[in-house]
Amino acid sequence: MMVDLVTRWQGEVIANEQRMSANEFWQHVEALSTQLRDMNLRCVAVELDNGLPWLVVDFALMQAGIVSLPLPHFFSASQREHALQKAQPQLIIRAAKPESEEQYLWSIGEQYIALEVVDMGAVESIEFPQSTQKITFTSGSTGQPKGVCLSAQQLLQVGASLVSRCAISQPQHLCLLPLAVLLENVAGVYAPMLAGGSIHVPSLASLGFDGTALKEPQKLLATISQVQPNTLILVPELLKGLVGACEMGWSAPESLAFIAVGGAKVAPDLIERARKLGLPVYQGYGLSEAGSVVSLASSIDADSASVGQPLEHVDCDIINGELVLKSPQFLGYLGEPAPQEEAYATGDLVALEGGEIHILGRKKNQIILSNGRNVSPEWPESLLLSNSAISQAVVVGEGEACLCALIYCDPRANNMQLSALVAVANEQLPSYAKIANFLRLSTPLSVDDGYLSANQRPKRDAINLGFAAQISQLFQE
């Protein structure tokens, strides 16, 4: 499939003001690949912002048969160090300036990268599963992240299945998520290339991001308007932003044909609002162990709670309510024994309706109420988060008679208005899943305080412990 890309892809890569044709792109890939091969490397860490260099490095490592270790910019210092210690790369590739006095300085178009040799250390003791091409570290809700080992064949297969599912030829795709995240890497680069499209990869700063936070949303909206893309990939928070902007008068480009949203459960109400505004939103589902994407809706008229049918290369089953993947199989976790099971239990609770998957929540997150009812907190949380004023919501209630929530809301909304928003969510829930009381947080939960994982998911055990007194008071009021 890599050979097919090199010989057949005739699109462009566009990074801010710089454009690169397919022929020029592959020339850069071949030159860098030769350099990396000559350095006799086993593993290389990639620490770059979105842009042309990231794509060239990614394909150069694939072509050279060298294990790639993308390091997301949102990893904490300890998570970054953990990934480096586990994978023991001999080289770190990072951005550089032309005047840098690096031993290995490489130019890609108008940008420069440094090939920084690192201490070999215990590299000889590191064993990668056979065929490993990329290691993606899950950011996890607890503990240190795990390195998921994936082959190039599996990743490109996911891309090919996405092309088949989306059925859009030669798309103009705009990357809005970090390329170090598998979702944008596979669905936002490999898939558009396999479809003969072109890829726009502006830097994250130029899109208005400061770290993981979108601090200047007007920049993101302006870029979408300027690029006029056919396809986008969003996480729920970005979808909320686009919906809110449309409701405030922003006109989404008529060029948009397919907006995939994934990464967390999305409230059906948010999907419906988006579609009514003319945004062609399709919800998907996946996980790193499956090469990022497992299923994707393909009909604009599909159930707004559905994440679609499994992709054509996926073989899965539902056992006791849990989604189990029979194939494809990932190669294993870095530094751990090879998986012996013939199938992978995802830990996700699902229901199958009309052949389409509905995500109910995480098995380990289920709250068991004192009346014996089981509730996935992601369900009421997604309804709360569908309102643009609510940016964080964590539902609690293990062993209690009802559910309560910790909520961070836009400071411009008063407590009466927040109560009204909670009431709107409750109208869509059965009695046992309604939010009986809530604590309004004065400051948002963060990665630094230990309450969020690196990908912004709540660390529920830490939150229950850190807010134990306040949560107890909620159930006494």
Residues 184 and 78 in one domain: no
Looking at the structure, do residues 248 and 341 belong to the same domain, yes or no?
yes
- Looking at residue 339, its pLDDT comes to 83
What are 432-451's pLDDT values in tens digits? Answer: 999 999 999 999 999 889 99
- Position 120 scores a pLDDT of 56
Triad 89, 94, 99: Cα angle to 5°:
130
CATH number reported for the structural domain that contains residue 432 in this entry: 3.30.300.30
Q: Are strands 147-150 and 332-333 parallel, antiparallel or unpaired?
A: antiparallel
Please give the full DSSP string across 400-421, using - where no structure is assigned.
SSSEEEEEEE-TTS-HHHHHHH
Q: Around Cβ 196, how many Cβ atoms within 10 Å?
A: 16
Same domain, 327 and 401: no
Do 333 and 385 lie in one domain? The reply is no
- 142 and 111 co-located in one domain: yes
- From 93, 107, 94, select the one nearest 28 (Cα to Cα): 107
Percentage of the chain modeled with pLDDT above 70: 97
pLDDT confidence of residue 74: 79
Instruction: Tell me the CATH number at 295.
Output: 3.40.50.12780
Residues 247, 335: one domain? yes
What pLDDT, on a 0 to 100 scale, did the predictor assign at position 58? Answer: 98
Last residue of a domain, one of 98, 120, 149: 149
Residue 239 contacts residue 233 (beta carbons within 8 Å): no
Cβ–Cβ under 8 Å, residues 245 and 269: no
Residues 96 and 212 in one domain: no
Predicted local confidence at residue 121, as pLDDT = 59
What is 272-331 written as a DSSP string?
Answer: HHHHHTT--EEEEE--GGGTS-SEE---TTS-TT---EEPTT-EEEEETTEEEEEES---
Same domain, 56 and 72: yes
Looking at the fold, whether 202 and 250 belong to one and the same domain comes out as yes
- Domain final position from 361, 390, 414: 361
Residues 206 and 340 in one domain: yes
Residue 24, beta-bridge partner list: none
Residues 329 and 203 in one domain: yes
- What's the confidence (pLDDT) of residue 119? 75
Instruction: Tell me which residues of the chain have a pLDDT lower than 50.
Output: 142
State whether residue 347 is helix, strand or coil: strand
Question: For the chain, what is the domain count?
Answer: 3
The single-letter code of the amino acid at 124 is E
pLDDT of 371 reads 81
Domain end point (choices 149, 174, 205): 149
Residue 154 φ/ψ, nearest 5 degrees: -65, -45
User: Do 332 and 396 fall into the same domain?
Assistant: no
Alpha carbon 94 to its chain's center: 22
Structure confidence at residue 338 (pLDDT) = 83
CA gap 398, 444 in Å, rounded = 23
pLDDT in tens, 277-309: 999 999 999 999 999 999 999 988 778 999 999
CB contact set of 6 (below 8 Å; sequence gap of 6+) = 26
Three state DSSP letters for 126-178: CCCCCCCCEEEECCCCCCCCCEEEECHHHHHHHHHHHHHHHCCCCCEEECCCC
Identify the pLDDT of residue 315.
97
Q: Which domain holds residue 218?
A: 152-361
List the structure tokens of 339.
Answer: 């998986």
